[in-house]
Structure formats: C-alpha cells, structure tokens
A = this chain, B = another copy of it.
Amino acid sequence: MINRIRKLRRDHDWSQGDLAEALSVSRQTVNAIENGRYDPSLPLAFTIARVFGLRIEDIFQPEP
C-alpha cells in the first residue's frame, strides 16, 4: 500500500502530532504509516479518509 497522507497532512498545515490527535492514535503510528512501515487497520483508514474528507481509494493505493 502506498498513501498520500504526508502530502494531505502538509496541505492542511498539520504536524504528525496534530493528525495523530485528530485520529486518536499516537504520533508514532502516524509516522509509521507515512513512512510505509505498516498499513493502518481498516477502521483507522476510514477515520483518516473522514478527517481529510476523501474516500479511502483517494488516499491509499495497492502496490503495483
């Protein structure tokens, strides 16, 4: 999975900590997902999409 979270977050002028708070997860979790160390759970992916007002497919893409 590749994702556009870092770009979306910066477009909103949010720090990783800001986004983590909006998602109710730790800052390390946001950092790990942005850096592709692991994928979010499906419920967290839904929360991320809701926070950015987008669909999951607009943020995440399966790897080629």
**Which residues on A are within 8 Å of B, measured CB to CB?**
1, 39-43, 45-47, 55-57, 60, 62
Contact = CB atoms under 8 A, between A and B. Distances in A.
B39 A41 contact: yes
Contacts of A41: 39, 41-42
Nearest to A45: B42
Contacts of A46: 1, 60, 62
A60 B57 CA distance: 13
A39 B47 CA distance: 14
Given A47-B62, A55-B56, 13 more contacts: A1-B42, A1-B43, A39-B42, A40-B42, A42-B42, A42-B45, A42-B60, A43-B62, A45-B45, A46-B60, A55-B55, A55-B57, A56-B57
